[in-house]
Copies of this chain bind each other. A is one copy, B any other.
Amino acid sequence: MINIGLDMMGGDFAPAEAARGVHDYFNQHDSDCHLTLLGNESAIRIELEKFAIPSDKISIINTSQTIEMHEHPTRALKEKTDSSIAVGFHQLANDQIDAFISAGNTGAMMVGSLFSIKTIEGVIRPTIGAYIPREDGSLGLLLDVGLNSDCKPENLNQFAVLGSLFAEKVLGIENPRVGLINLGEEEGKGNLLAQATYPLLKDNQQIRFIGNIEGRDILINKSDVMVCEGFTGNVMLKFAESFYDLVKRRNINDEHLNRFNFESYGGVPVLGVSKPVIIGHGISGSKAFCNMIITAKRMVEVDLIHKIRNSFAN
């Protein structure tokens, strides 16, 4: 049975919202999954007791430390060896869990992803993506959104492959279209990075490259996988998040605009590392935790790691 590790101490509403998410997951979805909950056992049990969660579906690993949101990632991971994040990565590295989810310290999750578990052979740099909702109900995948603030063309070329595999296998988008984020549509446009990346994507037989896309194409369903370096991606993602905040401040309630509540998607996958890892948003609520469990389980079920490994084996 698939065994997913969940950091119960991560996020602003830990462990209450994580516990509620666990309940929602077993309540609404097939329960063909075991969850390993990491954190302060007594605090977790207090929350779990509020719900009727089948006890054979979960196990708890008690950890005595918590990495706080603003701690220095590398130092915290090194010093707090009995923290939920450190133990989670240890469990993952030793195949005791199949995937690991945390809405805790993002930096520590990135450092753990890069150093506690291995990068898949052939992948120069792993990447993190974010979902972009479209009016037709579909989701686009934007990557990188901050793990790699300086990139080389080959990095972006690899992000396109990683994103395409995730979009196809996990999001269920057949033959996903890849767009290169750029400041103009025509081939030859762009900064030096985009200009040099274009021919690589064009020649890449593993992806379906549709050319350059502009800022105005991100919210429409023009491409499924949208590639850029992590600086632009991060600025855009936070910009889009703040647009949702603005819409809420304006007391606007629109079915589609509500989908820009990025918190509800739960978290972003780390792609290119040898195990499924999902990094949650600090403000994750129960819906986010539930969605992260669903995504993590799907990543394991379709054996995404194996498919990525094959793609990069040549």
| Least distance between A251 CB and chain B CB atoms (Å) | 9
Across-interface contacts of A146 in B (CB, < 8 A): 183
Considering only CB atoms, which chain B residue lies closest to A215 in the complex?
B238
Across-interface contacts of A237 in B (CB, < 8 A): 215
Count residues of chain A with CB under 8 A from any CB of chain B. Answer: 42
Q: Does A218 lie at the interface of the complex (its beta carbon under 8 Å from any beta carbon of B)? A: yes
| Least distance between A34 CB and chain B CB atoms (Å) | 36
Bound state CA distance, A236 and B239, in angstroms? 8
Considering only CB atoms, which chain B residue lies closest to A146 in the complex?
B183
Q: Does A231 lie at the interface of the complex (its beta carbon under 8 Å from any beta carbon of B)? A: yes
B-contact bits for A229-240, CB 8 A (1 contact / 0 none): 111101111111
Across-interface contacts of A182 in B (CB, < 8 A): 235
Across-interface contacts of A64 in B (CB, < 8 A): none
Q: Does A307 lie at the interface of the complex (its beta carbon under 8 Å from any beta carbon of B)? A: no
Is B254 a contact of A242 with CB atoms below 8 Å?
no
Known: A250-B256, A256-B250. A215 touches B194 (CB 8 A): no
Q: Please name 6 further chain A to chain B contacts, defined as beta carbons within 8 Å, in addition to the given A150-B192, A215-B241, A247-B257, sorted by A numbering.
A: A214-B235, A216-B238, A216-B241, A216-B242, A219-B246, A231-B232
